[in-house]
Structure 1
């Protein structure tokens, strides 16, 4: 097995693991009807990103990107529908979903009817790059909370390690493909998780220190 095949296989496995890991919380949400703490905007952005990635993978004839993102789209749709069904205030998430749907429809119309065919791939890649960057910078949010509270309660190795491996795998895979739209956001993703690791090292004993002072 050559390096490219090995990296591609690992990228597929770790990505599927990360995607499937988001399903149990959604099932729990359906049972309890409690949506507190569920990252609904993350699911919306993830769905937009995976739909654009399916189009990008189709244009670049990359079956791996297409297959992974078809699965990711299905899982994101399941999480979105679960959230709306479980939410007491359904109008707000429904409007947000409508906004994302209109964005995708508008992007499809622009790409197929207006954009110069020579630039279609770059247009889709740019949209995908923006969405991926937003998603892969979200690990910085708990870092901010960690710094404010002076403890690392909001950080967990169960998400940090797989997240780092997943971003690192996609960054490596993108480099091997020489695809800027794939590797560049994932470099930011790895950097975000490194920031989490640093915050955990610095503030890992914050809670104990606080209790000791009390």
Structure 2
């Protein structure tokens, strides 16, 4: 009976996690619609989307190694597609310097670094050790996804203007952090649960910052 309840909770939080993460990945759509309308990406940064793409790629690899983690595979596959779309739009409308910078980041970070991680973990480790190594790496970059939107915090504080702050992203990251924490807790997976505790705290910090400055711009 206890096992059935636990399995039900895992499935429930996995589905809720997919829904929350779906909105996380969709939340930048208004930002990129604004970029499209302006025909310029000036004022926005590509780093958060590159980091999010890398994190989704890592968790896809992690889910592949752990087996039977279809709920993790589905949402991170969707995440990879969305982040690639956002980065393409950003690059199309970016100035020359931003195009070069974004291209370098994608090549060095999302291609070379990812290739090295896959290659090294396959050649230098195996079994549970390989899963653990990839789990740690995935956790670190999952934290980077939560931290990345804070890069704009300094600008918000300095200018007292929240125009470029990704508020929907912060809100849905906070909700996603709560749901995936419980999912990781129920399946006893530290590498899923732990980063989302920090993610929740960073999300709350971003929302508080927005509430402080939203009426001052």
| TM-score of the pair, normalised by structure 2 | 0.81
Any stretches of 5+ residues in structure 1 without a counterpart?
Answer: 209-214
1:152 touches 1:199 (CA, 8 Å); kept in 2? no
For residues 66-123 of structure 1, the C-alpha deviation after alignment (integer angstroms, 9 at most, x for no partner) is 1111110111111122222222212222111111111011112112222344411111
| 1:36 corresponding residue in structure 2 | 42
Distance in 2 (alpha carbons) for counterparts of 1:123 and 1:131: 13
Any stretches of 5+ residues in structure 2 without a counterpart?
Answer: none
Distance in 1 (alpha carbons) for counterparts of 2:80 and 2:91: 16
| Structure 1 counterpart of 2:195, from 176, 179, 185 | 185
The Cα of 1:145 is off from its aligned counterpart by 4.9
1:93 aligns with 2:102: yes
Structure with the larger RCO, 1 or 2 (CA within 8 Å, 6+ apart)? 2
Paired residues in the alignment total 206
| 1:5 corresponding residue in structure 2 | 11
1:49 touches 1:132 (CA, 8 Å); kept in 2? yes
| 1:102 corresponding residue in structure 2 | 112
The Cα of 1:200 is off from its aligned counterpart by 5.2
Question: What RMSD, in angstroms, separates the aligned Cα atoms of the two structures?
Answer: 2.7
Task: Please show how residues 1-214 of structure 1 align to structure 2 within 5 Å.
Answer: 2-30=8-36, 32-60=38-66, 61-89=68-96, 90-100=99-109, 101-141=111-151, 143-145=153-155, 148=158, 153=162, 158-199=168-209, 203=212, 207=216
Larger radius of gyration: 1
Of stretches 20-29 and 5-14 in structure 1, the one that deviates more from structure 2 is: 20-29
